[in-house]
Amino acid sequence: MKTVIVGANHAGIAAANTLLDNYKDQQVVMIDRNTNLSYLGCGTALWVGRQIDSYENLFYTNKEAFEAKGARIYLETSVTSIDFANHVVHCQKADGTCFDESYDKLVLATGSLPISPKLPGCDLEGISFLKLFQQGQEVDRWMSDESVRSVAVIGAGYIGVEIAEAAKRRGKEVRLFDIAPTSLASYYDPSFTAVMDENLASHGIECHFGERVVAYHGENGRVSAIEAEKGTYPADLVINAIGFVPNNELGRDHLELFANGAYHVDRRQRTSDPDVYAIGDCATVWSNALAAETYIALATNAVRSGIVAGHNIGGTRLDSIGVQGSNGISIFGYNMVSTGLSVAAATRAGLDVCHADFEDLQRPGFMRENASVKIRIVYERGSRRVVGAQMASTEDISMGIHMFSLAIEEGVTIDKLKLLDIFFLPHFNQPYNYITMCALGAE
């Protein structure tokens, strides 16, 4: 059996490893147009902000590791088109030479593309995205240029907020824009985002939320300002971070698509063509909170979907258990984690939800090391099943969110959480634990 994997980043790598490590009869061919593989984009802001020493350890594998396992791997090679009827992939190397690769099974792991704001001035130099390693390098070079004093970030989602922090850590004057009225509006409710907004502002980031950017302006071909609805602001460097779209270029005329263009897949990652699988950011996921197909671009989903596809291609049936879109962020020491749906997201999706809030110290008052923790649990009014949770603190409260992820996945009700056995030790928490207290406070 020969499997061709198009795209050798997190999703493609997971599928290839699953096949190569578990199914010795498999012939695996990996093709990627980039010069590198396995770059952890989550490290870009840490590196640009000089919170880590270099970018070198942001790659967790390489071409040689796959060759050692028996795969054929082509980097700097684009798949230009696919003949789905005859099971042939047409490829072009960086030097222009072309070749074809036949397949029994094809895995599309072509990921996502950053959304490009189509604004006047978008061709000016000094406007970047932050998707690829190369773009991270470019942004880092500009940050090192002392003539770059003002940085404008468009989009206050995860990438935007993280790179705004990094730019501030590099001593820049930073302005952060979003059309939404707060930062991180897709992930958290306003009572949580208000604290992050205050955190950003208190560290000197000028927040322009609810203010649309309408144009980039430049001098001598280079960006020098951005014009937004309420004013024009200096900008020697602009970073666009307004979300991703699935990269469906190769299969959009042949495969069934979701509303945003992602390849529609079943729980085994199979597309509408029985010999084609799609994984990672180019494919849909099953949301347990929504009980529906949706799109969530995360490395975690990419890896899991690659494992699922690998086993199914290898001959072991494995169904995805769906996802909650669990996510987290840590900015100037303030940590926020969420899973499932916020009240706002649930309401937008047509779910009738209630929520319970609680705020307390992480540990008993007698402990020297302590900090406040905020928690919100979101649950469906009728069924009372938990559909989301948000937590925030300067403490590391990150592990708690995984329990809520499992609760959503398993359809646990808010009432079950009220008497859940949660241990107590002053080093970690309080006898009246904030999760228990929050659940007990539910209507």
Ligand X SMILES: NC(=O)c1ccc[n+]([C@@H]2O[C@H](COP(=O)([O-])OP(=O)(O)OC[C@H]3O[C@@H](n4cnc5c(N)ncnc54)[C@H](O)[C@@H]3O)[C@@H](O)[C@H]2O)c1
Ligand Y SMILES: Cc1cc2nc3c(=O)[nH]c(=O)nc-3n(C[C@H](O)[C@H](O)[C@H](O)COP(=O)(O)OP(=O)(O)OC[C@H]3O[C@@H](n4cnc5c(N)ncnc54)[C@H](O)[C@@H]3O)c2cc1C
> Binding residues for ligand X, per CB under 6 A?
42, 117, 154-160, 162, 177-180, 185-186, 212-213, 241-244, 297-298, 327-329
- Token pair 């180019």 is found at 282
User: Which one of 10, 208, 311, 355 is the catalytic residue?
Assistant: 10
Q: What is the DSSP string of 265-318?
A: --TT-B-SSTTEEE-GGGB-EEETTTTEEE----HHHHHHHHHHHHHHHHT---
28 binds ligand Y (CB under 6 A): no
Count of residues interacting with ligand Y (CB under 6 A): 32
Residue closer to ligand X (CB basis): 150 or 294: 294
Residue from 3, 4, 29, 41 in contact with ligand Y (CB under 6 A) = 41
Residue from 3, 17, 112, 294 in contact with ligand Y (CB under 6 A) = 112
Q: Let me know: does 50 contact 170? Beta carbons within 8 Å.
A: yes
Q: Which of residues 233-252 bind ligand Y (CB under 6 A)?
A: 247, 250
Residue from 151, 159, 235, 389 in contact with ligand Y (CB under 6 A) = 159
Report how far Cα 218 is from the mean position of its chain's Cα atoms.
31
Q: Let me know: does 376 contact 393? Beta carbons within 8 Å.
A: no
Residue closer to ligand Y (CB basis): 139 or 438: 139
H/E run at residue 389:
strand 386-393
C-alpha to C-alpha distance for 143 and 131, rounded to whole angstroms: 17
If 0-12 CB within 10 Å is exposed, 13-18 middle and 19+ buried, where does residue 158 land? Answer: buried
300 binds ligand Y (CB under 6 A): yes
26 binds ligand Y (CB under 6 A): no
- Please choose which of ligand X, ligand Y, none residue 177 contacts, taking the beta carbon within 5 to 8 angstroms, the exact cut-off set by kind: ligand X
Minimum distance, C-beta of residue 328 to ligand Y, in the bound complex (Å): 8
Q: Which of residues 74-103 bind ligand Y (CB under 6 A)?
A: 78-79
- Please choose which of ligand Y, ligand X, none residue 160 contacts, taking the beta carbon within 5 to 8 angstroms, the exact cut-off set by kind: ligand X
Inter-axis angle of helices 10-22 and 299-314, nearest 10: 30
- Using Cβ positions, the residue closest to ligand X within the complex turns out to be 157
11 binds ligand Y (CB under 6 A): yes
Minimum distance, C-beta of residue 301 to ligand X, in the bound complex (Å): 9
Residue closer to ligand Y (CB basis): 295 or 358: 295
7 binds ligand Y (CB under 6 A): yes
Q: Is 75 left (phi over 0), alpha (psi -120 to 50) or beta?
A: beta
- Please choose which of ligand Y, ligand X, none residue 110 contacts, taking the beta carbon within 5 to 8 angstroms, the exact cut-off set by kind: ligand Y
Please state the three-class secondary structure of 211-243 as a single string. CCEEEEEEECCEEEEEEECCEEEECCEEEECCC
- Please choose which of ligand X, ligand Y, none residue 109 contacts, taking the beta carbon within 5 to 8 angstroms, the exact cut-off set by kind: ligand Y
Minimum distance, C-beta of residue 413 to ligand X, in the bound complex (Å): 28
Minimum distance, C-beta of residue 320 to ligand Y, in the bound complex (Å): 14
C-alpha to C-alpha distance for 196 and 189, rounded to whole angstroms: 11
* Cα–Cα–Cα angle for 248, 251, 257, rounded to 5 degrees: 70
Structure tokens at 295: 């799109």
DSSP 264: P
Minimum distance, C-beta of residue 49 to ligand X, in the bound complex (Å): 13
**Active site annotation includes 254:** no
DSSP 371: -
* Cα–Cα–Cα angle for 400, 52, 372, rounded to 5 degrees: 30
6 binds ligand Y (CB under 6 A): yes
**Active site annotation includes 90:** no
Active site (catalytic) residues: 10, 42
Per CB under 6 A, residues contacting ligand Y are 6-12, 31-34, 41-42, 44, 78-79, 109-112, 130-131, 159, 247, 250, 280-281, 297-300, 302
